[in-house]
Amino acid sequence: MTTTTTGTSTVNGSVGTAHTRVEGRDKVTGAARYAAEIPFDELAHGWLVVSTIARGRIRSLETAPVLEMTGVLTVLHHHNAPRVDSDYVGMLGTPDPTAAVFQHDRVPHMGWPVALVVAETPEQAREAAEALVVRYEEEPHDVAFSGERPDAYAAEGHMPAVTEKGDLDSELAASAVVVDAEYTTPEEHHSPMEPHAATARWDGGRLEVLDSNQGTTWVQGELAKMFSLDPDSVRVRSEHVGGGFGSKGLRAHQVAAVMAATALQRPVRVVLTRRQMFSLTGYRSPTTQRIRLGADADGRLRALEHRSLSLTSTVHEFVEPSAGVARVMYDADAHHTANRLVRLDVPTPTWMRAPGEAPGSFALEAALDELAEKCGIDPIELRARNKPERGPVSGLPFSTHNLLACFQEGARRFGWADRDPRPGLRRNGRWLLGTGTAAASFGAGAMPSTAVVTAEADGTFTVRIAAADIGTGARTALTLVAADALEVTPDRVHVRIGDSDFGPAMIAGGSMGTRSWAWAVTAAAAELRERLTLGTGIPPEGITVRSDTSAAIGALAQKERHSFGAQFAEVAVDVTTGEVRVRRMLGIFAAGRIVNPLTARSQFVGGMTWGISMALHEEAVRDQASGGHYGADLAGYHVAAHADVPHIEADWVDDPDPDDPVGIKGIGEVGIVGAAAAIANAVWHATGVRHRHLPIRPDRVLPAGAAAEGERDA
Amino acid sequence: MREFGYERAVDVSGAVTLLDTDPDARFLGGGTNLVDLMKAGVERPARLVDVRELPLDRIESAPDGGLLIGATVTNSDLAAHPEVRRRYPALAQAVLAGASGQLRNMATVGGNLLQRTRCGYFTDVTAPCNKRLPGSGCPAIEGEHHNHAILGASEHCVATHPSDMAVALAAFDAVVSYETAHGPGELPLADFYLPVGDTPHLETALPSGALITGITLPPAPVATLSRYRKVRERASYAFAIGSIAAALDVRDGVVRDVRLAFGAVSSRPWRATAAEHALRGAPADAESFAAAADAELAAAEPLPHNGYKVTLIRNLVVAVLTELTEEAAR
């Protein structure tokens, strides 16, 4: 991948220069140990038994024969498991009671944890778990998700459920051009490479949990509340994490491991299988979204409506806020958005890379492309004409708004100016070719964190912060940030992360991890430098400074704070077989100051790759009769393979955040936003057919065919 | 996962004797499918007899101009063999269209023929499935079936056979050789896979405990101009949603000989005999190709969500035969 960074900020110091991962050698040689790989004496292994019905009650568990099996130590279930408290408010709200395992006999969805079999070896535990006979009183289930649900209700989640400004009907009536379409996205799963895994043990009166998660103090706090423990008596460590994407918070495996370690008074490890991950670690809800756009002939929006329906379980409310993206991207005289929810007998969904924005941008940015076509305006020009001056709903000013700079640079590098907007004209052998574009945005925030920085007597510095490197390169980024803040070279800085003993810190989530941690590290380092300038010399134990950014972050002015991006895609479609291939992609982002160009580019490219996957491949299928998944493994659930991923270029424009000490905005999620829409828009440009339902798979493309003249809907 | 014993067979007679005396034992080839099924609890053998070290790993030319392929030849070696590539190019292409490099290095020819369907109900032990648990029902018919069979299925099972290799072998009239404790035998590939009927759990005509020892490809001059095309839901590393093995002999614009077989449409590789019959002696043009495809697909019985496969196979027949006709003219 050859790219030239267009950012023009002068680089003095380490931030902004490319660094390989500080733990890279450990990872590629296998020296880095992940949660399920760390050895313990006397380790016992737990295996979850999950429900085979979608709704009902557990009538009985025949544990006696299982307890007779070789190596089996115990079977935990709702009759004998420790009671836990799930009625509390944690760092990110009330917990999903799915994690509070074995508390009652109700089964609210297929794959619900009903027992944990613990044995001396994982093989014995698994064999015994599979042998455990569980009898149920089955009740009829309802897993039918559709836009027609009469029981749907407006739901808040972390933003208002409904926003309404102006008279939608009259503005639509007054519009020269109207787009009115329904878009759907399927259930999608995080599928990190490393399955969820935890080892729990009691060590000198302290509970220690080695885990794979996105925030050690987060999980520490949840476990302390759930088991009614003093937070100081719980230590959670998570040094290396093989991907999370929103799925790695408090889950059934940690709670079950703690219960078993408590019952047996020996270390217990619980690892989820890939199939169990489909029902126990969250997912992105399917969405049905209706978009109505009304515009004058010049493309200026008079009316914008974005309504999204998602689903949640019967035990916990989670909203996929897909309509939220419209509250940021485009203004209109009449502007209505709503996030609605229906509760079904399914597992609880959760945050998944760009929650809300990923599916929401597919619908909204595809609708914008339809509007551009109807108005006869270039899609980029249409977006330029509708750039909001202030937050369309909030009325607040934007901290920075560099979307058009992204489009400008992207259009230049992609060769957009030469594009013939008419669909269905370009052919290369059996392939029809097309190009498409879409805008991206994601919120740029920071959350309070604490960091500890020590000047060691040997001239090095040690940074301790409960950050999580879930594969993003956060550990390396923080090394560069600390080096600059301390005005030393990165090789003199050692960053230790993934340990709740280091104090409260933001999770790796919401594209806020690196920014929040960098702020705390910078604050501690600045104070430490002041202390060092006093020149008293460094004692053998070093000089340590602790920071807490709560006050600084609390004092931030209210603004619309976002990263932006412009996505471009070229696709080839064979309408006789339904195959769609992405030939190239380009993403240009305005996402704050880039700390480490090497890993930042990987993160953008990773997001865009996921966009290909979302556009063309991913769909978790729920069997309506059983209420469970069909093909719940990585053979059945397709993600893009290497051969699906073409040349992808990701780059950025200069966009430092004026209110952040380092200028960071956060880059974890914006890379996937708009990517699926750019691909769908390119498929239209290739074939003349609008595909409004993801994934754009051969069984949809083939029957839809091509339409060189006029519009066809698939 | 059940504990199991493991033994490595050193000769064919020893291997078949082991299985003859232990109905709970299974032969282990590359293990690329069997081990997955054991982990899922679909297969629960008490003993594995590893046959990968048996001296069946050679590809030899037969005196009549055909090829003899040992059962433990790996998929990688089969696809790379110069005589396979020269005489039966569609076979090499079919093998390379399947799985990944790592899997092809492990997977054997014999195991490839005997791999099980990837139907998601079959591989989920909590679901009903007539193939895994006879009489329990087939949820695919009312449920998820967009990649299930359109030809030769029954009300008891609509699963497809996953092999790419077997589709090319079907087109080229391969014959499967096997050994049992009571002597050797042979089965033409056309008779190797049993019709689904009401016994979807009975998949092949191999006698109980038989070990596949090799495959014979009879000489087929038509096969030198042959092609395998596979359509799948991602560019690599996925099973087909429709595939075709085709060979064509065209002279003076007329089809003299043709071979056609389809994959991912049936419980077995589907030899398109009706299409071949319609094509022999017909003009080599898109119209005849389409008519021949229609003749074959007249028997198709698609379900509500897999009707696109009828169009897909028809389009593939026309596209691939047209390509081969153009190639023949060069």
Tens of pLDDT, residues B198-243: 999 999 999 999 999 999 999 999 999 999 999 999 999 999 999 9
Q: How far is A192 from chain B (nearest CA, A)?
A: 18
Strand partners, A197: A271
A669 is catalytic: yes
**B189 in a domain, yes or no?**
no
By Cβ distance, the residue of B120, B139, B311 closest to A631 is B120
Q: Quote the pLDDT of residue A707.
A: 86
Strand partners, A455: A461, A543
What tokens were used for B100? 């990944």
Q: Quote the pLDDT of residue A6.
A: 47
Question: How many helices (H) and strands (E) would you count in chain B?
Answer: 12, 12
Of B13, B34, B50, the residue that ends a domain is B50
B30 pLDDT above the threshold of 90: yes
By Cβ distance, the residue of B127, B236, B241 closest to A626 is B127
End-to-end CA, chain B: 56
**B105 in a domain, yes or no?**
no
CATH code for position B15: 3.30.43.10
- Chain A: residues touching B (Cβ < 8 Å): 52, 123, 126-127, 130, 430, 576-579, 581, 616-617, 621, 623-626, 628, 630-633, 635-636, 638, 640-644, 697-699, 702-703
Whether the Cβ atoms of residue A77 and residue A52 lie closer than 8 Å to each other:
no
The angle subtended at Cα A112 by Cα A111 and Cα A113, nearest 5°, is 115
**Cβ separation B231–A126 shorter than 8 A:** no
pLDDT tens figures, B74-132: 999 999 999 999 999 999 999 999 999 999 999 999 999 999 999 999 999 999 999 99
Q: How far is A202 from chain B (nearest CA, A)?
A: 29
A712 pLDDT above the threshold of 70: no
**B241 in a domain, yes or no?**
yes
Which residue does chain B place closest to A641, by CA atoms?
A: B236
Which residue does chain A place closest to B240, by CA atoms?
A: A698
**B174 in a domain, yes or no?**
no
Architecture of domain A24-32+447-554: 2-Layer Sandwich (3.30)
**B42 in a domain, yes or no?**
yes
Q: How far is A354 from chain B (nearest CA, A)?
A: 23
The residue-averaged pLDDT of A245-265 equals: 98
**B293 in a domain, yes or no?**
yes
**Cβ separation B1–A127 shorter than 8 A:** yes
Catalytic residue among A127, A669, A709, A711: A669
pLDDT tens figures, A113-122: 999 999 999 9
A52 pLDDT above the threshold of 50: yes
**Cβ separation A643–B237 shorter than 8 A:** yes
The 8 Å CB, 24+ separation contacts for B16-20 are B16/B179, B16/B180, B16/B181, B16/B209, B16/B210, B16/B211, B17/B181, B18/B47, B18/B49, B19/B49, B19/B181, B19/B209, B19/B211, B20/B180, B20/B181, B20/B182, B20/B209
Percent of chain A's residues with pLDDT above 90: 96
Q: How far is B324 from chain A (nearest CA, A)?
A: 15
**Cβ separation A127–B3 shorter than 8 A:** yes
The residue among A45, A574, A633, A702 with the most chain B CBs within 10 A of its CB, best to mutate, is A702
Burial A585-621 (b: 16+ CB within 10 A, else e): bbbbbbbbbbbbbebbbbbbbbbbbbbbbbbbbbbbb
| Cα–Cα nearest to B218, from B275, B169, B262, B269 | B169
Whether the Cβ atoms of residue A365 and residue A615 lie closer than 8 Å to each other:
no
Residues 6+ apart with CB under 8 A from B12: B54, B56, B179, B211, B213
Whether the Cβ atoms of residue B147 and residue B303 lie closer than 8 Å to each other:
no
Which residue does chain B place closest to A130, by CA atoms?
A: B1
DSSP character for A558?
P
Residue B25 sits in which domain range? 5-50
Q: Quote the pLDDT of residue A10.
A: 57
| Number of domains into which chain B is organized | 2
**Cβ separation B139–A703 shorter than 8 A:** no
Q: Quote the pLDDT of residue A9.
A: 53
pLDDT tens figures, B267-319: 999 999 999 999 999 999 999 999 999 999 999 999 999 999 999 999 999 99
The residue-averaged pLDDT of A210-226 equals: 98
Global model pTM greater than 0.95: yes
* Sheet containing B25-28: order of strands: B5-8, B47-50, B25-28
Which residue does chain A place closest to B127, by CA atoms?
A: A626
Between A and B, how many residue pairs show a Cβ–Cβ distance under 8 A? Answer: 92
User: CA torsion, points A571, A576, A578, A581, in degrees to nearest 10?
Assistant: -30
Cα–Cα distance measured from residue A424 to residue A498, given in angstroms and rounded to the nearest whole number: 52
Show residues of chain A in contact with B115, CB under 8 Å: none
How many CA atoms within 13 Å lie on the side-chain side of A447?
Answer: 17
Which residue does chain B place closest to A643, by CA atoms?
A: B235
By Cβ distance, the residue of A127, A633, A702 closest to B312 is A702
| Cα–Cα nearest to B94, from B192, B161, B167 | B167
Q: How far is B120 from chain A (nearest CA, A)?
A: 5
Show residues of chain B in contact with A636, CB under 8 Å: 118, 120
Cα–Cα distance measured from residue A648 to residue A585, given in angstroms and rounded to the nearest whole number: 5
CATH code for position B324: 3.30.390.50
Cα–Cα distance measured from residue A122 to residue A513, given in angstroms and rounded to the nearest whole number: 34
Whether the Cβ atoms of residue A186 and residue A618 lie closer than 8 Å to each other:
yes
Whether the Cβ atoms of residue B242 and residue B262 lie closer than 8 Å to each other:
yes
